Amino acid sequence: MKNMVFPGDMVSNAPIRNAYVYVEDGKSYAMTIGTYDAASGQFVPLEGNWTPRIEDTVIGIISSERNNVYEVDLNFHGRALIIGGKFEKFSFKVGDVVEATIKDIEDRRTIILVYPRLLSGGLILLVKPSKIPRVIGKDNTMVKQIADSTKSTIAVGRNGMVWLNGGDAGLAAAAIQRIENEAHVPGLTERIKNMVEKTEKR
């Protein structure tokens, strides 16, 4: 693979600002496996964990409920909470799948979620968080393409959980898993398009 860098590889002689690069003695080194294009300064990580950011859309499973406060399992090492208020009563049950937005992150490990939406039925797919941007695509094009062709409802969480329901959910799941495995190979959009459309015509 071209321009592949490994942890500790020097990517630049000068300090550069990048989430996957650290600076020591005025030089920049890679922190993770990825591809780095020196001309555009773009670092694409091939592996990685999810770091929560405010306004991220996530998908999780309700793991406990007490006094209108719900704890959500986001496949994350910290806690995630949906806190109901006086006028905001939720009626989720343990095991329900919800989509929500991050409002706040306390101490970098307690996530406060708002606008929860119950996702009933369907199946959950665990995808590497570093590949989620590819699953979504530019302006949601990739996920829209899969959803339109398979007539499946798809919700993508930044934490690596993808929820699918209805239509040809099996094909949609296969397409998403294919994106996860092949995101670094050029021509991905074309391949996924062929994959979902071929089956549609059948």
Binding site for other proteins (CB under 8 A): 1, 4, 6-8, 10, 20, 22, 29, 31-33, 45-49, 51, 77-78, 107-109, 128, 130, 181-182, 184-185, 187, 191
Given the complex with other proteins, which of 74 and 97 has the nearer CB atom? 74
- Distance from C-alpha of 76 to C-alpha of 105, rounded to nearest angstrom: 13
Given the complex with other proteins, which of 108 and 138 has the nearer CB atom? 108
Q: In the complex, what is the shortest distance from the CB of residue 24 to other proteins, in angstroms, rounded to a whole number?
A: 8
Given the complex with other proteins, which of 79 and 165 has the nearer CB atom? 79
Given the complex with other proteins, which of 4 and 118 has the nearer CB atom? 4
Structure tokens at 40: 């555009």
- Distance from C-alpha of 188 to C-alpha of 144, rounded to nearest angstrom: 15
Given the complex with other proteins, which of 7 and 15 has the nearer CB atom? 7
C-alpha distances out from residue 21 to 14, 25, 108, 201, Å: 12, 13, 20, 45
Q: In the complex, what is the shortest distance from the CB of residue 126 to other proteins, in angstroms, rounded to a whole number?
A: 11
Q: Is the dihedral of CA 155, 161, 165, 169 positive or negative?
A: positive
- Distance from C-alpha of 58 to C-alpha of 165, rounded to nearest angstrom: 17
Q: In the complex, what is the shortest distance from the CB of residue 133 to other proteins, in angstroms, rounded to a whole number?
A: 14
Q: In the complex, what is the shortest distance from the CB of residue 89 to other proteins, in angstroms, rounded to a whole number?
A: 29
Q: In the complex, what is the shortest distance from the CB of residue 1 to other proteins, in angstroms, rounded to a whole number?
A: 5
